[in-house]
Structures are given as structure tokens and as C-alpha cells.
Structure 1
Amino acid sequence: MRSINPRDYYHPQDQKALWELQQIPGFSAALKAFMKMFSENMIRGINMSNKVQIGPRQLPELYALLPPICEVLGIREPEFYLELDPAANAYTMGDSIISITVTSGLVDLMNEKQISAVLAHECGHIACRHVLYQTMASMLLSAGANILGGNLITSGLQLAFFHWQRCSEFSCDRAAAIYMDGSETVAQVMALLASGSREMAERLDMELYMRQAEEYRDFMDDSNWNKMLQYYALMSQNHPFLSVRALEIKEWCSSPVFKNIMDFKYEREPAKILEKNLCPACGKPVEGDWGFCRHCGNKLH
């Protein structure tokens, strides 16, 4: 299985919004101020002191989901943490020391495939080199007025940051779809986040949910007034609306671009035969073409 270059799935709105963000007056000053105060040791200290680090021996069934994703997306394995929070969420922070955190609410809400899709999305942020700016946005927009002075983080810069963050999510949804071989699980994640109930989600009709997404798009296209009202509701959010993301990824996965990426991904070398077809780390049966043991995450080749 080949690693995928992020240039192949980078969303054009992501690239455009980042360029526009960098042109906003005050961006350079905010970046310089952020780099002066930014310390990865602060983030890492919080992670180590107040979360559970996931690894081959700590929650190995959860850890095992991560290495194959990193292989497909061509990134180094980040640190991986679980934190107590009933809200279903995952986020990535850092620069040279990057960490992914998932919340207890997300793990309780989703099944293994859906958690894999979320992790692939977060790894997409790493592959697309979003993480430093995402960390900057998270820290400056939450505490910038107090730390850096109210005049530095202008309203225009705030809105530009939010706009870029929303656009960056589309690139990472594509990364998740590439790893999951299609849009189905990614769209299920959106429906789960919208409903907030694992029990209800198991009874959700995804065809109806996608039809709802199409109806919302028609509603937006119906008038400029509707567009303005929806933009007003969205402009201070750092994620696009969930049904919009579900429809966007479904349509992209029907495109020739996605098919070409899948063809490239699965142009495999002849499978190597492992001795007795057992993982040398955990001893469980594996397939010859697995790059990582899907039971414990151990690298096989």
C-alpha cells in the first residue's frame, strides 16, 4: 500500500483561505508574538499530566488504529492521548512534537471504524501541515486578547482564522476518506456528531441524512438573504456545518480524482509471507499484505 501525497487531496478552498489569512494586516505581528510565547513543553506537560497517553501497552486496541493511518498518509506517528470530556471531540496540536487527543465522549460514541476515520482526519492536519497554524489559532483566539493585547488580534484577523480553519477541515475529511476507502464512514461520523447518540445513530438512515444535506444546499442557493444569515451563524465557528461536510466528501469520493488516488494507493508490491503468519509482537494471526498488525499495531515489514 502506497503513501498518499497531501498535494493530491488538498482542498482548493483550504489553500486559498490560508493565502488570504496571511495577507490580513496584523497577521505577521500576531505570528511573531505567538512564536515568542509558544512553548511545546507547555502543551506536552499538560498532555502528560492531565491525560492518558495511549501506546502499544496502554489501551493497545485504541493505539493499534493509529500506525496504519500514519503509513497511508506518509507521516511520523504523533503522540496519542485520551482525555476526560463528555463532548465528542478530537484535536491535534504542536509543531515539532505533535499530539492527537481524543476525548472519552468520542470513544464512547463511536465504533472502531468511526474512530479510525476521526484519527485519519486528525492525521490529515499533520500531513497538510496545518498543525502550527491550528495551534496558533487555538491559543490566540482563546487567550490572545489577554496575553497579546486586545489591539493585536483584530476582528478581521479572527474571522480570517476561523474561515481558514473551516476550509482546512475539508482537506482532512478527504484524508479520512482516502484511508477509509470512501465517504461512507466519514459521513457516518458527521451524523454521529450531529445526533450525539450512539444508540440513535445505529438507527439513522444515512440516505435521508444525505438528502437533508442536499436540501440545506438548495436552501442556501435559494436566496442571498439565506446565504447571509447562514454565514452570520457560521463566521465565528472553526468547523463547517456537519451536513455540508458530509455532502462535500460524498461528492468528492465520486470524482475521478478520488478514483485515481485509490488506484495509486492499492498498487501493491507482492505480499510478503510472514513466518507462520503470526505477529512477532502479540502472536496473533496476520495477513501477508498487512503493513502493521491490526491487533496490536506492531510494524510487520
Structure 2
Amino acid sequence: MTEARQTRILTGIDPRSWEHPADRAALNALRKIPVFDEVLRAVFGFFGEKPLRLAFLSASVRVSPTQFGRVHRLYGEACRALDAPPCPLYVRQDVTFNAFAYGMQKPFIVITSATVDALDDDELRFILGHEIGHVMSGHTLYLTMMTVLYQLATMGFPIVGLAARAVLAALMEWHRKAELSCDRAGILAVQDPQPAMRTMLKFAGGDSGDTNLADFLAQAEEYRETGDLADQVFKVLNVLALTHPAPVIRVAEMRTWFESGAYERILAGDYKRRGEPEPAYAQDLSAAAASYRDSARETFSNAQQAARRVVDSFRQGFSGPR
């Protein structure tokens, strides 16, 4: 257990303050895919939000002052630091390290029991702040859709053919960028970079205790020295179809963010406030130019054609009364 430090409340902070430019550009690209919202309605008109929520109510423990009190306390601290209203939080029995935010109109957060057991207080604040970042950035609708499509693809569901897989690939392309954004939100919830890097070390190698953070940071530095991280590495990740960037890559991106001075400026009060005008879409694309290139554009171009076919598949497969 680590002692709680005095953290600054980032009053009224807008998630744009920490969002990675490639995340903003990719999410804007998703939203601009023709009939993409219609795909969302088709998927969730069939599955619905309530069954998903009930699944976690029935198979997880809702965090409260009397259930997982430590997690409840740390969650409240992370919400206060990011000036975010809390949403329901659940702990699910699972041997893997994981946490995620789901939901459409009513987001909720789930963290696994292994994660709770393995992380100290600051590391757990980082994970909780990361998931709060997803909620604040409006990611949960797209995260839920990605998970549903991924599960359908894994199960061999008939409508998840090449067309739906292209939409899923676009979602996964965006999600890898969104993880980089929310790592920054997690760091701002703790207001100390070290716990975030220690957490990535545990995610990469487990909680054996026989690890060295300095060596892990040197390993991350090797990635940064190879050239433009996103151009070279994310293309490989697309081929591997991973939902998350590798922990070493996430640490390298964290260090790049620290060195840019953005972290210190935010803690000093220099950040975007909620309600300030949104930047033009073209500005987001321009800001992302160095980290979001041909591979992502090709992914979303394919998804544009696929989105219409997915809607048609749902209409044909699930038409009629239910």
C-alpha cells in the first residue's frame, strides 16, 4: 500500500487536453464513415445495452464503500483529480490483468481481480484514471461495439464476414490510439509518471517481483531510437490485429509526452476547459500527420465500403418481429 499524495484537482479539464492526436483523428474518421452510426444502431438494436449491464451485475461485484473499499477510495480520488463524475465500477474474478469501460448511454467500468491484487495504490489509481479517461472522451460506445464485433468474429457468427471484419479493423485501429490517450489520463489521475511505467512493466512481465524498471525503460528507449514510432510499429500491430499497443510501446509514448512539456503544463493549469470550441476536423488531421498515415487511412477507407454491407447483413438476418 502506498500513501495517498496531495493531487491537484484539474477543474473542468476537457479530455482534448490529454488526447493523443492520432486518437482524435482516428475517432473523427470513424464518425465520418458513411452509415457508421447506422451500423451502431443495427448492432445494439439487436443486442441492447441492458443485457450487457446485467451480465456484469450477475457475474461481478459492484464496488462500494463496503465492497472493495480500497478500490472505492482510489476510484474516488482518481475521479476527483480529473474532475469527473463517477460511473458504476465492478470487480470481476479473472486471473488476467485487465480493465475496460463499456456502455452506450450509461457507461460503466470493470477491473479484474488479478489487477486489483497485483497493483499498489498508485498503480491502481493509474488504471482507474485510464478507464475514466475512456468515459470522459466518449469512447465507451465504440469500445462496446468493437468488443461485440470481436466476440462475434471469434464465435464465427455468420454476419461477421469480410465486410464486418473491415469495420472491426477500423475500430481496432482507433482503439490502439485511444489507449495512448487514456494512459495520459491515468497519469494525470496519479500525477506521477512512475506508477504508470511500473504498471506497464507488470502488464508486460507479470508480478514476479524479479523485474527492473530502469532496464524496462531502456528497452522502451530502443523503440524510440528506431524512428517514427507510430509509422513503424502501428503498421505491424495492424497485421497482428492486437487491440492494445504493446506495453513497451506505451511506455515509449508516455516518455515522449513527458518530454514535450505537455504534462507539466497541464498540472500548472494550462489545459483546455470543457465547453471551449471544438477544433476543426482538418486541424486534428494536421496535428496527427506525424503519427497517423497511410495504413490508418487505408483501414478507414475499407471500412467505409464495409459499413453499408454490415447494415444490409443485419437487416437481412434480423428482419421481422422479435
Give the structure-1-normalised TM-score.
Answer: 0.78
Match 1:205 to one of 191, 197, 212: 212
Contact 2:152–2:160, Cα closer than 8 Å, also in 1: no
> Within the alignment, does 1:115 sit opposite 2:134 as a pair?
no
Alignment of 1:119-130 (within 5 A): 119-130=128-139
Q: CA–CA distance in 1 between the matches of 2:14 and 2:158?
A: 36
Match 2:21 to one of 3, 7, 12: 12
Alignment of 1:205-244 (within 5 A): 205-219=212-226, 230-231=236-237, 233-234=239-240, 236-244=241-249
Q: Secondary structure at the match of 1:65?
A: helix
Q: CA–CA distance in 1 between the matches of 2:173 and 2:36?
A: 14
Q: CA–CA distance in 2 between the matches of 1:150 and 1:163?
A: 18
Matched-pair identity in %: 28
Q: CA–CA distance in 2 between the matches of 1:227 and 1:65?
A: 34
Q: CA–CA distance in 2 between the matches of 1:17 and 1:38?
A: 25
Q: Any gaps of 5 or more consecutive residues in structure 1? A: 266-301
Shift of 1:99: 1.5
Contact 2:90–2:110, Cα closer than 8 Å, also in 1: yes
Q: Secondary structure at the match of 1:91?
A: strand
Count of matched residue positions in the alignment of Structure 1 and Structure 2 = 260
C-alpha deviations, 1:72-131, integer Å up to 9, x for none? 223221111111110111111112322111111112221121111100100110111101
2:255 alignment partner in structure 1: 250
Amino acid at match of 1:240: P
Contact 2:78–2:190, Cα closer than 8 Å, also in 1: no
Match 1:80 to one of 66, 89, 111: 89
Q: CA–CA distance in 1 between the matches of 2:251 and 2:15?
A: 20
Amino acid at match of 1:179: A
Amino acid at match of 1:2: L
Shift of 1:229: 7.7
Q: CA–CA distance in 2 between the matches of 1:125 and 1:198?
A: 29
2:194 alignment partner in structure 1: 184
Match 2:171 to one of 158, 161, 176: 161
Q: CA–CA distance in 2 between the matches of 1:190 and 1:103?
A: 16
Amino acid at match of 2:16: R
Alignment of 1:123-138 (within 5 A): 123-138=132-147
Amino acid at match of 2:106: I
2:10 alignment partner in structure 1: 2
Q: CA–CA distance in 2 between the matches of 1:188 and 1:253?
A: 16
Q: CA–CA distance in 2 between the matches of 1:187 and 1:239?
A: 16
Amino acid at match of 1:249: M
Please, which moves more after superposition, 38-47 or 57-66?
Answer: 38-47
> Within the alignment, does 1:45 sit opposite 2:54 as a pair?
yes
1:261 alignment partner in structure 2: 266
Q: Secondary structure at the match of 2:178?
A: helix
Q: CA–CA distance in 1 between the matches of 2:206 and 2:48?
A: 34
Q: Secondary structure at the match of 2:138?
A: coil
Amino acid at match of 1:73: L
Amino acid at match of 1:260: R
Q: Secondary structure at the match of 2:209?
A: helix
Contact 2:175–2:243, Cα closer than 8 Å, also in 1: yes
C-alpha deviations, 1:107-164, integer Å up to 9, x for none? 2221121111100100110111101111111112212686672358433222111110
* Distance of aligned partners of 1:227 and 1:101 in 2 relative to their CA distance in 1, 3 Å threshold: closer
Q: Secondary structure at the match of 2:269?
A: helix
* Distance of aligned partners of 1:231 and 1:91 in 2 relative to their CA distance in 1, 3 Å threshold: closer
Contact 1:117–1:186, Cα closer than 8 Å, also in 2: yes
Higher relative contact order (CA 8 A, sep 6+): 2
Amino acid at match of 1:230: V
Amino acid at match of 2:58: S
Amino acid at match of 1:243: V
2:160 alignment partner in structure 1: 150
2:280 alignment partner in structure 1: none
* Distance of aligned partners of 1:42 and 1:227 in 2 relative to their CA distance in 1, 3 Å threshold: closer
C-alpha deviations, 1:225-254, integer Å up to 9, x for none? x759834554x1111111110111122123
C-alpha deviations, 1:173-196, integer Å up to 9, x for none? 010111221321111111100011
Runs of 4+ in 1 over 4 A off after TM superposition: 23-26, 144-148, 219-222, 226-229
What is the alpha-carbon root mean square deviation over aligned residues? 2.6
Q: CA–CA distance in 1 between the matches of 2:244 and 2:104?
A: 21
Shift of 1:28: 4.1
C-alpha deviations, 1:15-65, integer Å up to 9, x for none? 111123334466344223123124222122111111111101112122101
